[in-house]
Structure formats: C-alpha cells, structure tokens
Amino acid sequence: MTEWRRNKADRVGKLGFSFRRHLHEKFIEFLLFLSAVLSIAIMFAIIVMLLKESWVFFQHVSLWDFLTDTQWTPLFDDAHYGILPLVSGTLVSSFIALAVALPLGTVIAVYLSEFAPFAVREVAKPFLELLGGVPTVVYGYFALLFVTPLLQAIFPELPGFNLLSAGLVMGIMIIPYVSSMTEDAMRAVPMNLREGSYAMGATRFQTAIRVVMPAAFSGIAAAYILGISRAVGETMVVAIAAGMQPNLTWNPMEPAATITAYIVQVSLGDLPHGSIGYQTIFAAGLTLLILTLIFNIIGHVLRKRYREVY
C-alpha cells in the first residue's frame, strides 16, 4: 500500500499531460500534413511552370496566330506557330479511341454488373485489370506492326502512319478504365432498386438500362471523363503509330501529330534550354492541360447536376 502511494506521483506523471509527448504528436501530425499539402503544391507547380514558359512563348508569338495559324512548324526556318494541326490530330485520334472505348466499355460493364454469373465476373475483372496494366509503348508497337498492316489489307491506300490505327488501339487500351469505373458505379446502386424493378415484371435488360444506369449516371459520367482525359493525353501510341508530322486534317486515314506526339518529338531532339523550341512544348502542354480541364469541368457539372443519393 505504501509503495502504491509512493509511486503515485510517478503514475500521474505518466498518465497526465506530457509536454514532450504532446510535442512529438504535433510534430508527426505536421509532417503528415505536409505530405498531404504536397498534392496542392504539385498542382500549383504544374500550372506555374506551364504558365511561366508559355508566357515567354507568347511574347514571341501572338495568341491570335497561335490559335488561328494553320501550320505548326516551329523548328523550321519559316516558323509557324499555329496549334490547330496538333489539336486536330489530338481530337481525331481521341474521337476514334472513344468511339471504340465508350460503347464497348459500357457494354462490358453492364454485362459484368447485371448479367454475368459470379464465376465469369471473378475471372473477367482481374483480366481487364491486367489489360489496363500493359505499358502504352507496347500498344504503340502493336498498332504500328500489327493493326496498321491489317488495316492496309482492307484499305490498300492507307499510309504506314495513320490516326485510324493509333485511335483504334488507344480505344482498346482505354476499355478497362471505362468498364471498371462504370461497373463500380453500377454495383454501388442499392439492390432494392433492382428488386423493385424485377417485382414490377421488368427484365434484366430493362432494369439495367432504365433503372440501374440512370441511378449510376454520375459515376458513369466520371468514368467517361476519365476515358476522355486518357485519350487526349495518351502519348506513346500516337507517337509511334500516327507519325509525327503536324497535319491539319480531320481524315483519320492520314498521318498526323498530336499535342503529346509533338512534345515527344521535341524532347527526343536536343533543344537548348530557353530557346523558342523549348518554350513551344510548354505552350503545347498548356493547351493539353486546358483541353483536359475543360472535359473535367463538364464532367464535374454533369456529376453535380445528376447525382443521386440513396
């Protein structure tokens, strides 16, 4: 008993407020806070870096020329700085890719979420995930050396570099992203909505299309937006299979460069830091970021507008 008393001061010291322990805790919390804030710093750094170099670029080239000139030849003696050829290449290849990825991805997602037996889903989901893990440079190789010759057998006049083959392969590449996010969104719809629909005598297809998909709309929109961002920002497939010649065209059978392919082309060369050629890739990057930002904002608005909470 006396010992118990004697140690009382000791015990209070350990259990009570300890300044050192408090400091230790706060210090760790601060470190964790810093690593969380880093994400904001990265975003900030991206924007500052792109704006800074583009600012110098736009001292040389007027914004009007940049947006309306129909030639992009910054590395030639007769330099033109019109972003349109790169934008057209980006939009055409993305459009083809999305024409493949969005329908196929959605059908796969609806099938896996509403129709497929458990065993099929258990096998197909990891497989699709593996498909999404294949490096893009490998898909580029596939587009150039397999899909293009295949397409040339159908369209003999197709050139060796073209947007069509790059776009198709890109589409296959994006399917897993779209299907897995769409499926997650559909699976998150509560079961009693489906049960209600079945109880009314609806078939699986009717339930999937008229009940589950509208309820999952905001998630599906998010999946589509991610798919679009992937397509617009995809680099290696187009750099390898579509050629790197800027070409203002809406014809997928022609070779053309995308914004990303141009950045790769310049980076492969040896441009001195601070030259106008160096700054063009930042201006091109800024254009790319703004393009993806526009799609993201549209997606955000759609999500907010049609979000359903259960």
Site for another protein in 10-49 (CB under 8 A): 15, 21, 24-25, 28-29, 31-40, 42-43, 45-46, 49
- Least Å from the CB of residue 2 to another protein: 25
- Interface stretch with another protein, choices 55-63, 73-81, 120-128, 192-200 (CB under 8 A): 120-128
Residues of this chain, 151-170, that bind another protein according to CB under 8 A: none
87 binds another protein (CB under 8 A): no
Q: Does 51 bind another protein (CB under 8 A)?
A: no
Using CA atoms, how far apart are residues 65 and 55, in angstroms rounded to an integer? 15
Q: Which of residues 217-256 bind another protein (CB under 8 A)?
A: 225-226, 229, 232-236, 239-240
Residue number with CB closer to another protein (205 or 250): 205
Q: Does 50 bind another protein (CB under 8 A)?
A: yes
**Which of the stretches 4-12, 63-71, 78-86, 111-119 binds another protein when contact is defined by CB under 8 A?**
111-119
Among 124, 151, 193, 248, binds another protein (CB under 8 A): 124
Contacts of 180 (CB under 8 A, 6+ apart): 109, 125, 128, 129, 132
Report the alpha-carbon angle 163-237-242, nearest 5.
30
When asked if residue 292 is in the footprint of another protein (CB under 8 A), the reply is yes
> What residues contact residue 211 under an 8 Å CB cut-off, 6+ apart?
189, 193, 194, 196, 197, 202
Asked whether position 91 contacts another protein by CB under 8 A, the answer is no
Distant-in-sequence, close-in-space partners of 270: CB < 8 Å, separation ≥ 6: none
Give dist(CA 103, CA 117) in Å, integer: 21
Window contacting another protein (CB under 8 A); options: 60-68, 70-78, 135-143, 189-197: 135-143
Q: Which of 56, 79, 131, 193 binds another protein (CB under 8 A)?
A: 131
Look at phi and psi of residue 116 and say left if phi exceeds 0, alpha if psi is from -120 to 50, else beta.
beta
Binding of residue 142 to another protein (CB under 8 A): yes
C-beta of residue 101 within 8 angstroms of C-beta of residue 113: no
CA angle 130, 135, 137 (to 5 degrees): 150
User: CA-to-CA distance for 299 and 223, rounded, in angstroms?
Assistant: 9
Residue 115 found at the interface with another protein (CB under 8 A): yes
**Segment 186 to 205, residues that bind another protein, using CB under 8 A:** 203-205
Tell me how far CA of residue 145 lies from CA of 37, 57, 66, 131, 152, in angstroms: 44, 37, 35, 19, 11
For 173-228, list the strands marked E by DSSP. Answer: none
Q: Is 281 in the site for another protein (CB under 8 A)?
A: yes
